Each structure stands twice: as structure tokens, then as C-alpha cells.
Amino acid sequence: MVYLDHAASTPMYPEAVDAMTAQLTRIGNPSSLHAAGRAARRVVEESREAIAAALDARPGEVVFTSGGTESDNLALKGLYWARREADPRRTRILSTTVEHHAVLDPLHWLAEHEHAEVELLPVDHLGRLDVEAFRAAVERDPASVALVSVMWANNEVGTVQPIADVVAIAHAHDIPVHTDAVQAVGQVPVDFAASGVDLLTLTAHKVGGPYGVGALVVRRELALTPQLHGGGQERDVRSGTIDTPAIAGFATAVELAVKRQAEHAERVCALRNDLVSRVTEVVPDAGVNGDPDCAPDHRLPGNAHLTFPGCEGDSLLMLLDARGIACSTGSACSAGVPQPSHVLLAMGHDDEQARSSLRFSLGHSSTQADVDALVEAIGPVVERARAAGAVSGIGGSARKAV
């Protein structure tokens, strides 16, 4: 299989597999006081220290969770409840129109059930936050803002957000900032302390670790209302017996991904640029989405997001899958009905354009042969998808629009 969907999940590093499997046959709850429990606790705390060191955070700031979705929910709900309890005026949450659904859906829930006033701020045609619109939203009534959540890098088009600007504007009014950095860690430099953010989400399976484990890095001085109540593990913020083997694999993956980040970015950016250049030669009217600049403050190095006029993205995906090539549309699908990407709509694309796109994302196991296979397949696949669209009456106007 040619795997070009690393943004969805990337293969585990062999070293992470070894670290995880070494713990699978060992007994001991890390909350137990006997020798087996203390041994498990040692593995957890050494893993916490390793992740903290890789991200330039303090070990006590790393709270283990089941993954990115839980970390985002804990950050948004926990911080909103804590801030509102301290000051009932703080009911506004500022975010962007291009966030992952792990952020958008909790925000929608808070608006519907907890009287939060959620404001989703616009982005430009590259998918980057309009900083002046954000500044205006903050300064309109800063005392009412509970928190800000802006992703580090977009999961669909790869555009990196202006986190430094967001932090400077928010912190001028003592407003905490959360960032979903699930896509960014290991792809671009991520320094928790230097960034100034107050909460940062990451997950293992995006960086070469196992599924089902992640972390929320949260400044020690920040109060969060827990969502899970029980044994008081993880600073009383996230109760529940923690997964020692998965955490060991997670820590190894984070260490390796961060250590190799610069070399990785250079290599996959070259592959990505070759992919884009050659695919657009084969399909000249294909459009490239997101920031074209491969600099770490502009775009994720391995992200190639393209629109193919006259095609349904889901059809392209299945045709490529039949040829052994895995990629993603980056859009939601409800009951088999393709839905346009909310990210592309926010960037100014119309519905048909937003349904005609594919995301190819490269990772640590990607090779030149993967790119060559896609280039060989894409012409016939697009031709077949367009023929199917013409027969069904789908996609004609999209061909003219891009």
C-alpha cells in the first residue's frame, strides 16, 4: 500500500513499539504503593519528564489523557467552567472557523448547554487567522472572554497559525490561550514555554506512537475543572488508571519526532513539492490549497491539499484506494452523503470546490516511490472521476470555478 494519510495517523516508530511492548507483560498499577506499582510509576514519570523536555515544559505540566479529543475537551470545558466560576462575566470563547471538530464540537456543546458565547473568527484564503479581526473581538470586551483556542496548524490544508500574535493580544488582557498542536508536534518546532500558550494538546498516534494516549500540557498555575472524577490521578485534573505501556511508547515517539523534526521537515517538504509539481503537470487545472511556503511558520512540511475540478473527492479517494493508494478528503461524511469541508468553505471556496479536494500527507515512512505511484495513478483516476461526474451531472460548475 502507498500510504499518503500521515495526518490521520502515522506508523509507529519501531523504537516506540519496543518501548511499549516491553511494558505489556509487566504487572503493576502506577497508583499502587508496592514494588510493582512503584516500578510502573517510575516508567510513567520518566515518560512524563521525556515529553516535557522535548516540548520545553515542566513535567508537572504534562497531563496524560486518552488522546487529542479528550485533551481538547478537557482544555475547553475545564477552563471555561473554572474561569466562569471565578468571574461569571467570562462567558465568551474566541476560536477560528477552521478548527478540528475536536474543538468545534465541544464549543458548540458549551454554547448549547452552558450558555457560552462562541465566536468563530475568519481566516484568509490561505486558511490563516485574520489577526486584526481577532484583536477587535478581544478588545470589544476583554473582561467577558473566558479563553481563546487557536490550532497551531490546520489538519486539512496545513497552514500554520500566528500563535505568537494570538498569545500577545490575549495575554495583554490576561486571557489564557489553548492550542491544538496535534498536527504540529514533530512537524514544525513546538516550544511550549517560548510560545506563551497556556494549554497545548498533543496525541501519540500523530507522532509515531500508539493509539489511545495523548496529553494536555497545562501551566501549573492554571485552574481546570475536571471532567472525570475518581482516583484523583493526573493532578486531580484527569482521574483514571493511566496506561503505562502506551505512555512509554508515546514518550519514545515524542522524543524521536522532536529530535528528528528538522531533518524530517526538509525531507518530506522536498517530497511534497515534487508531488505537487508533478500532479499539477498531469492535471493542469488542479488547484493547490493552503500556504505555498514550506517555512515552519507557514505550512506543515508534508501537507499537499489539492482541488480537482469536476470530481467528487470521495470518488477520487475510492478510485485511488482501489489502486492501493491511501489519502483523505479531509471532509466529514454523514450517512454516505459527502459534505463540503468547513475549512475550505471558510477559506472562500464554494460547495463544489470544497467537495472536490484531496489531502495527501507525507510522514516519516514516505518515499519517492510513494510519490511516483500517485503521479502515475492520478491522471486516469481524475479522468474516470470526471466521466462519472459528467454522467451524474455532478461537478460541472466546479470545473469552471477553479
Strand partners, 120: 95
Q: Which of 294, 311, 327, 333 is catalytic?
A: 333
**Contacts for 368-374 with beta carbons within 8 Å, 24 or more apart?**
368/271, 368/274, 369/2, 370/2, 370/3, 370/4, 370/271, 371/271, 371/274, 371/275, 371/278, 373/2, 373/323, 373/324, 373/325, 374/2, 374/4, 374/275, 374/279, 374/320, 374/325
The candidate with the shortest Cα–Cα distance to 312, out of 374, 389, 387, is 389
Pairing mode of beta strands 199-203, 214-218? antiparallel
50, with CB counted inside 10 A (0-12, 13-18, 19+), is buried
Assess whether 333 carries a catalytic annotation.
Answer: yes
- Give the C-alpha separation, 260 to 318, whole Å: 33
> Are residues 384 and 319 in contact, defined by beta-carbon separation less than 8 angstroms?
yes
Q: Which residues are tagged catalytic?
A: 333
